[in-house]
């Protein structure tokens, strides 16, 4: 790979958020965009000065100048479009989740091994400032021995379009699986999940999925650790929350219960009233090239100045977008595996898919494939 990577962004709803970041990254060339709606395609291309435009994904993949595609299309399209790109000789970054079936996850992993091409699932949480803060505590030894991990993703999806209504809670679980698995680079070995409550009948019928909340225990391979993750999408009264908590022998980090309040750090062996302290999580823009550092605290590049709904409800995704871009581009330039790579992405995605299957079977333990 040369020192400048030609990027094509596919899907320009949420995907438009990344155009300015790639344009300013010192090792990327924001080469092409793709959108089926030609009016929107041209509006975005004109606004951001991207001249190469495609309304047909298959035609885009024939362009020999494109090194990598960044897929931001609806969830049901991810696996098919990823596989097509890899077969066309393109590296792939793809928004979450990797696929909607364990079989498709395996196909992507196998094709990456066969072609030597790079794949990265663009999981925002493992590049959000809170995760980077806990990761720094862990790497400095301040947490001590990690004893347990916990995460949640609760969101009211009423009113979301297309494939969202009635979606099983765990089918899109990477936002809570990613951090508990990614902090220590663990591999989920097996999962047991319980469903709780019920959603409205008209929603439950769509995917034959009745549960309001699904909570899964994850056991990690070659580790004494386990984690619990839980999700809700409909008929649960809860402010949006993507939380990540880690419990160590020396310090533990707990996510705030209310958005925009400070998180809590507990320190062992202090007098009881002094154990918890509220902490302001710092920004980690200093880890990035100077040209894209300000994207950790600003964002939202939609043409009408309205934030994309996933960005609004996602609390800005913790400043993760420029970190994701930098990791993907750097991995290509340095010819190394990105984080998360294809195997890790498949493991994280399959936890959610198999957790829902477990919930439908009353909590049965289900083992993951070894990707």
Who wins on pLDDT, 307 or 208? 208
Task: Report the pLDDT value the prediction gives residue 1, as an integer from 0 to 100.
Answer: 54
Q: For residue 257, what are its two tokens?
A: 């219960």
CB atoms within 10 A of CB 40: 16
Q: Which long-range contacts (CB under 8 A, 24 or more apart) does 76-83 make?
A: 76/100, 76/163, 79/104, 79/105, 79/107, 79/108, 81/10, 81/57, 82/108, 82/119, 83/107, 83/108, 83/111
Tell whether the model's pLDDT for residue 311 goes beyond 90: no
Q: Is residue 98 within 8 Å of 105, Cβ to Cβ?
A: yes
List the domains of the chain with CATH numbers: 5-123+300-338 (3.40.50.720), 126-286+351-367 (3.30.360.10)
Is pLDDT of 216 > 90? yes
153 — pLDDT class (breaks 50, 70, 90): very high
In the prediction, which pLDDT does 301 show? 43
pLDDT higher than threshold 90 for residue 191: yes
Q: Summarize the confidence of residues 86-106 as an average pLDDT.
A: 98
User: Does the pLDDT of residue 302 top 50, yes or no?
Assistant: no
pLDDT band at 318 (very low <50, low <70, confident <90, very high): confident
Beta bridge partners of 247: 148, 252
Q: What is the mean pLDDT of the chain?
A: 94
Beta carbons of 62 and 68 less than 8 angstroms apart:
no
pLDDT at 215 over 80: yes
Nearest alpha-carbon partner for 119 in 109, 128, 131, 127: 109
Interior/surface letters 202-217, b for 16+ CB within 10 angstroms, e for the rest: ebbeeeebbbbbbbbb
Q: Which secondary structure element, helix H or strand E, spans residue 94, and what is its range? A: strand 91-94
What is the mean predicted confidence (pLDDT) over 256-282?
A: 96
Give CA–CA dist 364/240, Å, rounded. 29
Mean pLDDT along residues 225-235: 98
CA atoms within 13 A on the CB side of 179: 32
pLDDT the model gives residue 309: 46
Q: What percent of the chain has pLDDT over 70?
A: 94
Q: How many Cβ atoms are within 10 Å of 298's Cβ, its own excluded?
A: 10
Cβ atoms of residues 27 and 3 within 8 Å: yes
Cα separation, 101 vs 37, whole angstroms: 28
Q: Quick one: angle between helices 102-115 and 78-87, nearest 10?
A: 20
Q: What is the mean pLDDT of residues 92-96?
A: 97
pLDDT at 162 (0 to 100): 81
pLDDT at res. 298 = 63
Give me the pLDDT at residue 160, please: 87
Whether residue 106 has pLDDT greater than 90: yes
pLDDT, tens digit (0-9, with 9 covering 90-100), for 325-352:
999 999 999 999 999 999 999 999 999 9
Rounded to an integer, what distance in angstroms lies between the CA atom of residue 31 and that of residue 121? Answer: 20
pLDDT at 316: 62
Residues 327, 25 contacting (CB under 8 angstroms): no
**Cβ–Cβ under 8 Å, residues 191 and 198:** no
* Edge-to-edge strands, sheet with 5-10: 52-54, 28-34, 5-10, 68-71, 91-94, 119-121
- The mean-pLDDT minimum among 222-236, 309-323, 343-357 falls in 309-323
Q: Is the pLDDT of residue 17 over 80?
A: yes
314 pLDDT above the threshold of 50: no
β-strand pairing of 226-232 with 241-248: unpaired
Q: Comparing 192-206, 217-231, 293-307, which segment has the lowest mean pLDDT?
A: 293-307
3-state secondary structure of 210: coil
Q: Give the other-Cβ count within 10 Å of 23's Cβ.
A: 16
Q: pLDDT of 35-71, one tens digit each? A: 999 999 999 999 999 999 999 999 999 999 999 999 9
> Which pLDDT score, from 0 to 100, does residue 317 have?
82
Element (H, E) at 334: helix 321-334
pLDDT exceeds cutoff 50 at 121:
yes
Mean pLDDT of 240-268: 96
Rounded to 10 degrees, the C-alpha dihedral 109/115/116/118 comes to: -60
Backbone angles phi, psi at 244, to 5 degrees: -145, 125
pLDDT at residue 306, as a whole number: 45
Determine the pLDDT at residue 2: 59
């Amino acid at each position: 790979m040369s020192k400048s990577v030609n990027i094509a962004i596919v899907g320009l709803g949420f995907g438009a958020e990344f155009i300015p970041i790639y344009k300013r990254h010192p090792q990327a060339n924001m080469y092409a965009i793709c959108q089926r709606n030609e009016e929107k395609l041209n509006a975005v291309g004109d606004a951001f000065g991207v001249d190469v435009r495609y309304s047909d994904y298959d035609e885009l993949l024939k362009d020999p100048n494109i090194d990598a595609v960044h897929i931001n299309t609806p969830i049901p399209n991810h696996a098919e479009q990823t596989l097509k790109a890899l077969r066309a000789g393109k590296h792939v970054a793809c928004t979450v989740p990797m696929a909607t079936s364990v079989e498709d996850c395996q196909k992507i992993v196998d094709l990456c091994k066969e072609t030597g091409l790079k794949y990265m699932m663009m999981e925002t949480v493992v590049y959000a400032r809170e995760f980077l803060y806990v990761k720094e505590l862990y790497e400095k030894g301040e947490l001590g021995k990690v004893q347990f991990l916990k995460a949640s993703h609760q969101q009211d999806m009423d009113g979301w379009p297309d494939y969202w209504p009635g979606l099983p809670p765990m089918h899109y679980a990477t936002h809570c699986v990613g951090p508990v698995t990614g902090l220590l680079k663990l591999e989920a070995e097996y999962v047991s999940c319980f469903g709780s409550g019920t959603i409205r009948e008209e929603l439950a019928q769509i995917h034959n999925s009745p549960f309001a909340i699904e909570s899964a225990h994850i056991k990690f391979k070659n580790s004494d650790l386990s984690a619990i993750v839980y999700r809700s999408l409909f008929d649960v009264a809860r402010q949006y929350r993507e939380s990540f908590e880690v419990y160590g022998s020396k310090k533990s980090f707990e996510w705030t219960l209310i958005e925009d309040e400070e998180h809590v750090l507990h320190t062992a062996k202090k007098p009881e009233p002094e154990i918890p302290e509220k902490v302001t999580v710092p920004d980690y823009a200093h880890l990035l090239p100077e040209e894209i550092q300000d994207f950790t605290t600003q964002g939202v590049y939609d043409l009408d100045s309205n934030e994309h709904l996933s960005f609004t409800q996602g609390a800005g995704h913790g400043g993760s977008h420029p970190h994701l871009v930098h990791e993907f581009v750097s991995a290509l330039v340095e010819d190394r595996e990105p984080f998360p790579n294809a195997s890790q992405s498949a493991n994280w995605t399959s936890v959610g898919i198999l957790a829902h299957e477990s919930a439908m079977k009353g909590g049965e333990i289900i083992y993951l494939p070894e990707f």
